[in-house]
């Protein structure tokens, strides 16, 4: 065999995607949570300028993709990006780079540190082979859910459970006005009345209250599992509430282990379809063993989205 | 009490206008802002609280809201 022109170990992890043209590849860079330092961005720009097409593509999962890279330049690209600072992403049947919104650091809605969670998952689980299909994780800072957590294999959404200290309340009425879910109304004593059955954990009451009468009794992630998009989309369903930030990696690891085991022999099948096949009870009970205080009583199967294709009665 | 009418002004312009108005007002003074229902009444009070002002109350009038607040120290 001829001496390979490039270091094939660079290819193994994936992240090099064949393009249309001869010898040309897209190089997908690893940008967990979509945050990138300006220094790194300049470095990437320089490499893209030198080896690429004159533009990059921002993928829908927050990665930067270098376009039109000749495969003979792989080693140079990897070296010039600086392996420690900028790693190449993955593709194939692996845990992908997690996505996240900006979270609480500067976004006024954020309830949890999504960036920290995304980095931690990236460091500890990125690239883990599932044996079956890709596995996507996403973190949203609050129930607005801009990054669309529920269409990931495991989607996390920041949440708080509000608690009222009625003595601190000055009866301004702002919390009741702020709650779009109808969980708060002003009572006859001019203090808010909390209808817990309607609360979706957004924390808007806490954020608006001028006196701190509302505070967070508990905080963590709402977790939905089994989502995906693509040809046959599924929306993930609820498995746990208020999972603490520090247990996120363990939680994903249990889901991964269940997937690896239950999809054995199924081929290239996503988690949501395995849940439909095995029944959600199996996964829910597996999670309950390790996370009894967070797992919900029951859930439903991943929700099938009607794509309306093929058209009924369509013909050649 | 000074009353600042922010009706008909959308987010985030209403908040920026409130902020500019507050610059000319002494700390500790109570002022009121007239706000449209919907996004304005949901967003503006919270943002003013984040800026360090003390929200005092919210009252519904015919189709709009009156937010009273005390200007915070710099
Ligand atoms: C003060 C209010 C809001 C703020 C500060 C805010 C902020 C943001 C930010 C920063 C993003 C980009 C997130 C990212 O890509 O990392 C975003 C996207 C998004 N937001 Fe909001 N948002 C607000 C209200 C809302 C509301 C009320 C809704 C829906 C009812 C909403 C739905 C969405 C959706 C669906 C996206 C994704 C858009 C896309 O991918 O094209 N947001 N928002
Ligand atoms: S999900 Fe919440 S915290 Fe994240 S960007 Fe959207 S509004 Fe902000
Ligand atoms: S957390 Fe959100 S939904 Fe729950 S009571 Fe407060 S404002 Fe309403
Ligand atoms: S926002 Fe705070 S002070 Fe105002 S009514 Fe609600 S609990 Fe009371």
Examine the pLDDT at A17 and tell me if it is beyond 70.
yes
C-alpha distance across the termini of chain B, in Å? 21
Q: Please give the Cα distance from B54 to B69 (Å, whole number).
A: 5
Domains A99-160+219-304 and A161-218 share a fold: no
B55 contacts A172? CB cut-off 8 A: yes
Q: Catalogue the E-assigned strands of chain A.
A: 16-18, 24-28, 56-58, 64-70, 99-100, 137-140, 154-164, 184-186, 192-194, 214-225, 234-235, 237-243, 303-304
Class of domain A8-82 as given by CATH: alpha beta
Of 3.20.80.10, 3.40.630.30, 3.30.413.10, 3.40.50.10800, the CATH number of A99-160+219-304 is 3.30.413.10
Q: Catalogue the E-assigned strands of A202-302.
A: 214-225, 234-235, 237-243
Q: Please give the Cα distance from A233 to A251 (Å, whole number).
A: 23
All residues of chain A having their beta carbon less than 8 Å from the beta carbon of residue B56 are 170, 172, 210
Q: Please give the Cα distance from A161 to A203 (Å, whole number).
A: 7
> Is the minimum distance from the CB of A242 to ligand 1 under 6 angstroms?
no
Q: Does residue B33 have an active-site annotation?
A: no
The shortest C-alpha distance from A170 to chain B (Å) reads 8
Residue ranges per structural domain of chain A: 8-82, 99-160+219-304, 161-218
The shortest C-alpha distance from A106 to chain B (Å) reads 12
Count of CB atoms situated within 10 Å of the CB of B5: 12
- Under a CB-based contact definition with an 8 Å cutoff, are residues A134 and A192 in contact? no
How confident is the model over A184-226, as pLDDT tens digits? Answer: 999 999 999 999 999 999 999 999 999 999 999 999 999 999 9
Of 3.30.70.20, 3.10.129.10, 2.60.120.260, 1.20.120.450, the CATH number of A161-218 is 3.30.70.20
Q: Please give the Cα distance from A284 to A292 (Å, whole number).
A: 10
User: Which pTM value belongs to this model?
Assistant: 0.85
| Token pair in block for residue A171 | 């009866």
Q: How many domains does chain B contain in total?
A: 1
Nearest in space to A259 (alpha carbons), one of A276, A245, A244: A276
Closest to A207 (Cβ–Cβ): which among B46, B56, B65? B46
Bridge partners of A163? A215
Provide the pLDDT confidence category of residue A254 given band limits of 50, 70 and 90. very high
- Under a CB-based contact definition with an 8 Å cutoff, are residues A303 and A237 in contact? yes
- Under a CB-based contact definition with an 8 Å cutoff, are residues A156 and A138 in contact? yes
Q: What is the mean pLDDT of residues A104-114?
A: 80
The SS3 call for residue A122 is helix
Mutate to test the pocket of ligand 2, among A141, A151, A200 (most ligand atoms within 8 A of CB): A141
Task: Identify residues of A whose CB sits under 8 angstroms from chain B CBs.
Answer: 108, 170-174, 177-178, 180, 204, 207-208, 210
Domain membership of residue B47 as a residue range: 2-70
How confident is the model over B13-68, as pLDDT tens digits? Answer: 999 999 999 999 999 999 999 999 999 999 999 999 999 999 999 999 999 999 99
Q: What is the mean pLDDT of residues A43-49?
A: 94
Vertex A126: Cα angle to A122 and A127 (nearest 5): 165
Closest to A174 (Cβ–Cβ): which among B47, B50, B55? B55
All residues of chain B having their beta carbon less than 8 Å from the beta carbon of residue A178 are 42, 45-46
CATH code of the domain in which B20 resides: 3.30.110.40
Name the closest ligand to CA A181: 3
pLDDT for position A58 = 96
pLDDT for position A306 = 96
Query: What distance in angstroms lies between residue A144's CA and the mean position of ligand 2's atoms?
Result: 6
């Amino acid at each position: 065999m001829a001496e390979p022109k490039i270091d094939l170990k660079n290819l193994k992890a994936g992240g090099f995607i064949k393009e249309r043209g001869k010898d040309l590849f897209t190089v997908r860079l690893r940008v967990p949570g979509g945050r990138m330092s300006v220094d790194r961005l300049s470095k990437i720009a320089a490499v893209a300028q030198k080896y690429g097409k004159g533009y990059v593509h921002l993928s829908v999962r927050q990665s930067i993709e270098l376009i039109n890279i000749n495969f003979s330049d792989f080693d140079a690209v990897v070296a010039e990006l600086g392996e420690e600072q900028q790693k190449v992403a993955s593709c194939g049947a692996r845990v992908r780079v997690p996505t996240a919104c900006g979270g609480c650091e500067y976004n006024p809605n954020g309830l949890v540190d999504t960036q920290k969670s995304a980095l931690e998952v990236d460091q500890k689980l990125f690239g883990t082979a599932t044996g079956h299909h890709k596995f996507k994780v996403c973190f949203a800072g609050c129930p607005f859910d801009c990054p669309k957590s529920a269409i990931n294999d495991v989607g996390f959404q920041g949440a708080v459970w509000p608690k009222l200290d009625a003595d601190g309340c000055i009866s301004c009425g702002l919390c009741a006005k702020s709650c779009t879910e109808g969980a708060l109304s002003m009572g006859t004593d001019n203090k808010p009345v909390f209808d817990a059955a309607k609360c979706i954990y957004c924390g808007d009451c806490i954020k608006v209250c001028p006196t701190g009468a509302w505070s967070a009794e508990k905080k963590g992630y709402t977790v939905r599992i089994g989502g995906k998009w693509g040809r046959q989309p599924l929306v993930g369903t609820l498995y746990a509430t208020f999972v603490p930030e520090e247990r996120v990696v363990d939680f994903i690891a249990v889901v991964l282990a269940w997937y690896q085991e239950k999809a054995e022999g199924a081929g290239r099948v996503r988690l949501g379809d395995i849940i439909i096949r095995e029944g959600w009870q199996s996964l829910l009970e597996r999670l309950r063993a390790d996370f009894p205080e967070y797992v919900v009583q029951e859930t439903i199967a991943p929700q099938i989205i009607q794509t309306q294709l093929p058209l009924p009665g369509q013909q050649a | 009490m000074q009353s600042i009418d922010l009706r008909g002004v959308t987010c985030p312009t209403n908040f920026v206008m409130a902020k500019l108005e507050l610059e000319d007002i002494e700390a500790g003074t109570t002022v009121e802002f007239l706000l449209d229902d919907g996004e304005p009444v949901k967003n503006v009070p919270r943002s003013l609280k984040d800026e360090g002002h003390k929200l005092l109350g919210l009252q519904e009038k015919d189709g709009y809201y009156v937010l009273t607040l005390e200007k915070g120290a710099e």
